């Protein structure tokens, strides 16, 4: 189980935590399938600047990934934490985000609008 919190943190339950911890994963990539509204958490290669750090609780019963940038990218919006059923498939932890909590560039495919001109 993954909880996606209003400010973008991902909290993983004991089972999901043990899957990552058992593989020695300390940094992850969060992949997004816009069409299926599906996210996947995958081990990140060493030195990958896109990676998010996994913080394990002292008892190992949960872990947290500070994914504020990812949440903003998919336009995640919720007043309370949203629980996502997670499955380990293809070497990745995967979950579907309910449509009612989505908006923004990563959910619609539209480019963000900007009034700022790029320097030439």
Whether 84 is covered by a domain: the verdict is: yes
Answer yes or no: is pLDDT of 65 > 90. Answer: yes
Whether 88 is covered by a domain: the verdict is: yes
Domain that holds residue 65: 2-108
pLDDT (mean) for 73-88: 93
Whether 30 is covered by a domain: the verdict is: yes
pTM greater than 0.85 = no
CB 48 within 8 A of CB 5: no
Using DSSP, state whether 6 is helix, strand or coil.
Answer: coil
Whether 15 is covered by a domain: the verdict is: yes
In whole angstroms, how far apart are CA 108 and each of 27, 100, 101?
27, 13, 13
Whether 120 is covered by a domain: the verdict is: no
Closest by CA position to 60, among listed 17, 11, 12: 17
Whether 118 is covered by a domain: the verdict is: no
CB 27 within 8 A of CB 51: yes
Whether 14 is covered by a domain: the verdict is: yes
Whether 114 is covered by a domain: the verdict is: no
Between 27 and 106, the more confident residue is 27
- In angstroms, how far is the first alpha carbon of the chain from the final one? 47
What total number of domains does the chain contain? Answer: 1
Query: Which of 61-70, 84-93, 109-118 is the least confident region?
Result: 109-118
Give percent of the chain with pLDDT exceeding 90: 78
């Amino acid at each position: 189980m993954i909880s996606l919190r209003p400010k973008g943190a991902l909290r993983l339950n004991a089972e999901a935590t043990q899957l990552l911890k058992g593989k020695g994963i300390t940094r992850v990539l969060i992949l997004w399938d816009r069409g299926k509204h599906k996210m996947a958490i995958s081990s990140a290669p060493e030195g990958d600047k896109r990676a998010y750090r996994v913080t394990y609780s002292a008892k190992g019963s949960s872990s947290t990934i500070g994914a504020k940038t990812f949440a903003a990218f998919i336009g995640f919006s919720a007043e309370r934490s949203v629980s996502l059923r997670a499955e380990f498939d293809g070497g990745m932890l995967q979950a579907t985000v309910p449509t009612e909590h989505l908006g923004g560039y990563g959910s619609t495919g539209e480019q963000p609008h900007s009034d700022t001109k790029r320097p030439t």
